[in-house]
Amino acid sequence: MKIALIGTTAACVLGFRADLIRALTEKGHAVYAFALDYDSETRNSVKAIGGIPMDYHISRAGLNPFSDFVSTLKLSRVLRSIEPDLVFSYFAKPVIFGTLAAKLAGVKRRVGMLEGLGYVFTELPEGMGFKRRLLKWIQVSLYRMAFPFLERLILLNQDDQIDLVDKYKLKAKRVSVLGGIGLTLDNYPYSSPPVSPVSFIFVGRLLAEKGVHIFIESARLVKRQFPDTRFVMLGGIDESNPGGLKALALDQLKMEGLIEHPGHVSDVVGWVSASSVFVLPSYYREGVPRSTQEAMAIGRAVITTNVPGCKDTVVNGENGYLIAPWSPEDLAEKMFHFINHPDDIVRMGLKSYEMAQDKFDAGVVNRRLMSYLV
């Protein structure tokens, strides 16, 4: 069977689809992995796991309908040339335009997966302005056009089905909720968390919607009472994003001793293992955050927001705490709890580990995903 996987970046192919590609090729399927930005290194890496790297182009964030139409026609011609039995698209634009290209190419089976609803569905503290309402209308309209051509739409959490498919009465033949995309758990061995001094770690892009400013403000509140507490942030800066943390501000935070930010690190597992509690105060429309899954597999208690996607990783009071979005005070309160009750760092971390073993094993998740595909 020939299967075309249509995503965005080569990094996403290797970071999120590698286990699936291996599993499919081991079953004897030919897997064509489409990405926007292959170079010689990533191309060879995809070949090494059994995939066939394929180039294509579509603007990830552009709103030029003519450009998207031309890109869809070009993609359909490539699909027609390889004649796949199935096209599996993931992320918003590939699901829309990859599905339409597959239909134009005469591909009989088409499956799409949305790993979260993304920026235009994210609730902001200041509300939704005209531009975001327009973007949301455009995206929903494109989904309305593409979804009927899918034999199955896969979502990662139940809230996404309620807030997208049910609310807008979008037509899809089947809708399945997968849960987290899973991890190779052997790569995330359990380690006992340090409890003195207590340290909190944030892993993600240093953007407002990921909760970076909330993490920083809560660190200020906690440091006033417990100055030895450590706050570590791992993630890159995006100077072009208006809500992103700026390099100058980050340097100042480091000089103050408020935040530790080691820059680019290759050993994220090691940094999480050296921390007590994992924190993700995101209000972005996540699917099921991978960084939180990783922290849980290592055995870390989690503090995260009570919003779709994030809340699917925490049973409140068992493996961590859910907090209100946009509230550094609420986050600081939960941090105080762990500082004052260090036994809960270990107890809730063990519960996270158990939950990860039960819910986030990539082998189990990929078998379920493959049952939808082959």
Query: Could you read off the pLDDT of 113-145 as tens digits, one per residue?
Result: 999 999 899 998 888 889 889 999 999 999 999
In this prediction, residue 87 has a pLDDT band, given cuts at 50, 70 and 90, of very high
What digits encode the pLDDT tens for the residues 207-237? 999 999 999 999 999 999 999 999 999 999 9
Q: What pLDDT score does 200 carry? A: 98
Answer yes or no: is 367 within a domain: no
> Does residue 98 register a pLDDT over 70?
yes
Of the three residues 177, 198, 224, the one that is the final residue of a domain is 177
304, 282 Cβ separation under 8 angstroms: yes
Answer yes or no: is 92 within a domain: yes
Answer yes or no: is 366 within a domain: no
Residue 60 has which token pair? 């990830």
Task: Let me know whether 96 and 196 are in one domain.
Answer: no
Q: What pLDDT score does 126 carry? A: 84
Task: Let me know whether 248 and 347 are in one domain.
Answer: yes
Answer yes or no: is 143 within a domain: yes
> Which range of residues forms the domain containing residue 344?
185-359
Q: What is the rounded distance in angstroms from the CA atom of residue 89 to the CA atom of residue 149?
A: 12
Q: What pLDDT score does 238 carry? A: 87
What digits encode the pLDDT tens for the residues 162-176? 999 999 999 999 999
* Helical packing angle, 212-225 and 328-340, nearest 10°: 50
Task: Let me know whether 55 and 204 are in one domain.
Answer: no
Task: Let me know whether 149 and 235 are in one domain.
Answer: no
> Does residue 63 register a pLDDT over 90?
no
What amino acid occupies position 281?
P
Q: What pLDDT score does 309 carry? A: 96
Q: b or e along 186-199 (b: 16 or more beta carbons within 10 Å of the residue's beta carbon)?
A: eebebbebebeebb
Which pTM does this prediction carry? Answer: 0.93
What amino acid occupies position 121?
F
Task: Let me know whether 167 and 237 are in one domain.
Answer: no
> Does residue 62 register a pLDDT over 80?
no
What digits encode the pLDDT tens for the residues 5-50? 999 999 999 999 999 999 999 999 999 999 999 999 999 999 999 9
Q: What pLDDT score does 64 carry? A: 78
Task: Let me know whether 67 and 147 are in one domain.
Answer: yes
Q: What pLDDT score does 243 carry? A: 86
For the chain, the domain total comes to 2
Answer yes or no: is 365 within a domain: no
Task: Let me know whether 135 and 196 are in one domain.
Answer: no
Answer yes or no: is 364 within a domain: no
Task: Let me know whether 203 and 251 are in one domain.
Answer: yes
User: Of how many residues is the chain composed?
Assistant: 374
* 3-state DSSP of the chain: CEEEEECCCHHHHHHHCHHHHHHHHHCCCEEEEEECCCCHHHHHHHHHCCCEEEECCCCCCCCCHHHHHHHHHHHHHHHHHHCCCEEEEECHHHHHHHHHHHHHCCCCEEEEEECCCCHHHCCCCCCCCHHHHHHHHHHHHHHHHHHHHCCEEEECCHHHHHHHHHCCCCCCCCEEECCCCCECHHHCCCCCCCCCCCEEEEECCCEHHHCHHHHHHHHHHHHHHCCCCEEEEECCCCCCCCCECCHHHHHHHHHHCCCECCCCCCCHHHHHHCCCEEEECCCCCCCCCHHHHHHHHHCCEEEEECCCCHHHHCCECCCEEEECCCCHHHHHHHHHHHHHCHHHHHHHHHHHHHHHHHHCEHHHHHHHHHHHHC
CA-closest candidate to residue 49, choices 27, 21, 16, 9: 21
Answer yes or no: is 46 within a domain: yes
Of the three residues 161, 177, 193, the one that is the final residue of a domain is 177
What digits encode the pLDDT tens for the residues 229-266? 999 999 999 888 888 999 999 999 999 999 999 988 98
Q: What pLDDT score does 50 carry? A: 97
Task: Let me know whether 168 and 211 are in one domain.
Answer: no
Long-range pairs, 65-69, Cβ under 8 A, ≥24: 68/97
- If one counts every other C-beta atom within 10 angstroms of the C-beta of residue 230, the result is 18
In this prediction, residue 65 has a pLDDT band, given cuts at 50, 70 and 90, of confident
Answer yes or no: is 374 within a domain: no
What digits encode the pLDDT tens for the residues 330-361? 999 999 999 999 999 999 999 999 999 999 99
Task: Let me know whether 139 and 203 are in one domain.
Answer: no
What amino acid occupies position 36?
L
The mean predicted confidence, pLDDT, of the chain is 95
User: What is the share, in percent, of the chain residues with pLDDT greater than 70?
Assistant: 99
Residue 67 has which token pair? 């450009």
- Residue 106, judged by CB atoms within 10 A of its CB (0-12, 13-18, 19+), counts as exposed
Q: What is the rounded distance in angstroms from the CA atom of residue 374 to the CA atom of residue 369?
A: 9
CATH of the domain at 205: 3.40.50.2000
Task: Let me know whether 73 and 172 are in one domain.
Answer: yes
Of the three residues 177, 199, 224, the one that is the final residue of a domain is 177
Task: Let me know whether 172 and 189 are in one domain.
Answer: no
Q: What pLDDT score does 36 carry? A: 96
